[in-house]
Amino acid sequence: MVQYLIEGPRGGMKKDGDAMKKFRPVEPGESQLEKILEAGIEEFADRGLDGARIEAISKRAGVAPSLLYYYFDDKEELYSAVLESALKSFIMGLGERLKEQGDFMSSFGPGMLSAFEMMRERPVLSRLLLRECLDGAKYLEILKARHPEWVGSNFRLMVERLKEAMAAGVARQVDADRTVAIFASGLFLILGALPVLKLMAPSVDQSDDPMVWFGVLVDIVANTLKP
């Protein structure tokens, strides 16, 4: 989120040196703004945009509320920055892992496992994105228009790999876009629906372990795609 590190309040520009002089990093490599964004992820994931409070975010970040208003006009602008930071971090990290995988049929399991592991490592990101989607995805649509170069890049990569697998005859003919979309959505839903899954399947061993459900999802997709 470099742009927020160099932008002044209400869109005004100031020099990097001036910003660093006034807001000295709390720790090496960690600025007060980064603390605000991280605290925002937690607060918005827990309470959503409507329920989150600037005071609560400032308390989580360990900074004065006035500092949040120095960088952002209001809660909505802060939310947009938090969502952008979280989504970019996830997309870029997942993209690197996916590029290391091979063709779709041999890698979609490991590739999606990478995504699943990222979400399990930071479940707060999944909660934040799920809340945004449940609230109508208004801000995600704004980010999609603002960053067409990276929003959806991983999705397109997996779709192209599936199409290559179908052309090679190792996967049956399916709607590649919808297949990848449903599978990717399933990853988020598993993490968000674990309490429901555990309630519905109390006799399943380790039913509260997301990896159990992930394995089932991979098997379903793998068997469905066999020619």
Q: Quote the CA–CA distance of 74 and 69 in Å, as a whole number.
A: 7
Q: What is the 3-state secondary structure (H, E, C) of the chain?
A: CHHHHHECHHHCECCHHHHHHHCCCCECCECHHHHHHHHHHHHHHHHHHHHCCHHHHHHHHCCCHHHHHHHCCCHHHHHHHHHHHHHHHHHHHHHHHHHCCCCHHHHHHHHHHHHHHHHHHCHHHHHHHHHHHHCCCHHHHHHHHHCCCCCCHHHHHHHHHHHHHHHCCCCCCCCHHHHHHHHHHHHHHHHHCHHHHHHHCCCCCCCCCHHHHHHHHHHHHHHHHCC
Residue 4: what pLDDT? 33
The percentage of residues in the chain with a pLDDT greater than 70, rounded to a whole number, is 69
Classified by CATH at the fold level, domain 1-71 comes out as Arc Repressor Mutant, subunit A (1.10.10)
Domain ranges of the chain: 1-71, 87-227
Question: What pLDDT, on the 0 to 100 scale, is given for residue 13?
Answer: 32
186 vs 114: CA distance, rounded Å: 14
Place of tokens 């500092």: 67
**Residue 101 or residue 2, greater confidence:** 101
Does the pTM of the predicted model rise above 0.95? no
Both structure tokens of 164: 């290559």
- Please give the average per-residue pLDDT across 94-99, as a whole number: 71
- pLDDT tens per residue, range 101-141: 666 666 666 666 666 677 677 778 878 887 888 888 899 88
pLDDT band at 37 (very low <50, low <70, confident <90, very high): very high
CATH class name, domain 87-227: mainly alpha
Higher pLDDT, 199 or 75: 75
